[in-house]
């Protein structure tokens, strides 16, 4: 697979119940043990590079698996972001990496497990119906009302599907930024003590800010409650650092984030193709 091709889209599970379930998502950040790597002779390192590049090529073509390898700036050396419908495949993937000669020189500095999901705050057809009646003055039995409501339902259905069964962006979005986050649960401010309608209002404002960056930033927000130490993982795909800085800076002023947002470490990386392994990691 070339660097310009997007990861192959997994096939959604066949049963109706399973289709409502999200897919496991793994972020794995690792540091190269340079002393151990340098201890190998030239032939051993060359063989290890070929072995690992071959593994990445095979994984890139595996049906059902989306995998993005990237070179990390600062906090690690290399990152792997993986999505697959089967949790067992995600577990095996980490072991496949570790079982290679290069993998034996990789030390995990941070990992994050989450699952794709549809937000509970997504606008419903009931929300839209009230808007069409109260704000647009449409009669519920009018053809225009039915047309607009049907179009809304189709759009939101497609949006929900994209959240539950995401398709990762291709190489035209080469810069990745990942960070975990939670909502405040302190005595002074507790997100979970707010009424649902108030939380939904705050999230709607947050979503409006995100939509303004749709052409510059592709976002994937996954749930990690009960799976990891934070409640959500946020992955931003962009073309440049400024887009990351701009969207995160603006959203910090959003009421929902300013009052209730708690953020973990930020990891920025640049994706590479399997054939670029040696140069991307300076092996």
Q: Which positions are catalytic?
A: 179
Q: Which residues contact 64 (CB under 8 A, 6 or more apart)?
A: 8, 10, 11, 84, 85, 86, 89
Task: Calculate helix-pair angle for 143-164, 125-134, nearest 10 degrees.
Answer: 150
Secondary structure (3-state) at 237: strand
Number of neighbours of residue 75 by Cβ within 10 angstroms: 15
* Token pair for 222: 């996954």
Q: Are 257 and 251 in contact (CB under 8 A)?
A: yes
Q: Which residue has the tokens 């500095």?
A: 109
What's the alpha-carbon Rg for the chain, to the nearest Å?
21
| φ, ψ at 143 (rounded to 5°) | -60, -35
How many Cβ atoms sit within 10 Å of the Cβ of residue 214? 9
In 3D, which of 262, 254, 249, 247 has the Cα closest to residue 191?
262
Q: Give me 241's structure tokens.
A: 């650092």
């Amino acid at each position: 697979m070339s660097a310009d091709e997007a990861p192959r889209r997994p096939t959604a599970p066949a049963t109706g119940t399973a289709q409502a379930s999200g897919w496991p998502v793994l972020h794995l950040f690792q540091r190269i043990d340079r002393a151990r790597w340098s201890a190998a002779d030239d032939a051993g390192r060359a063989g290890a590079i070929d072995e690992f590049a071959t593994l990445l090529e095979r994984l890139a073509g595996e049906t059902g698996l989306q995998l993005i390898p990237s070179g990390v700036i600062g906090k690690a050396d290399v990152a792997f972001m993986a999505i697959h419908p089967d949790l067992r495949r995600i577990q095996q993937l980490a072991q496949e990496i570790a079982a290679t000669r290069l993998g034996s020189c990789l030390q995990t500095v941070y990992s994050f497990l989450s699952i794709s999901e549809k937000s509970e705050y997504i606008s419903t057809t009931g929300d839209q119906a009230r808007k069409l009646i109260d704000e647009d003055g449409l009669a519920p039995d009018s053809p225009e009302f039915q047309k607009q409501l049907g179009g809304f339902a189709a759009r939101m259905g497609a949006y929900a599907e994209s959240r539950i069964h995401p398709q990762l962006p291709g190489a035209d979005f080469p810069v990745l930024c990942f960070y975990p986050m939670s909502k405040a649960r302190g005595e002074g401010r507790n997100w979970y003590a707010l009424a649902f309608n108030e939380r939904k209002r705050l999230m709607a404002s947050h979503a409006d800010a995100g939509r303004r960056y749709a052409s510059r930033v592709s976002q994937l927000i996954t749930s990690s409650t009960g799976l990891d130490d934070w409640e959500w993982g946020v992955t931003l795909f962009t073309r440049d650092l400024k887009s990351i800085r701009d969207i995160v800076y603006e959203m910090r002023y959003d009421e929902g984030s300013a009052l209730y947002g708690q953020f973990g470490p930020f990891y920025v990386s640049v994706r590479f193709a399997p054939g670029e392994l040696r140069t991307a990691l300076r092996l």
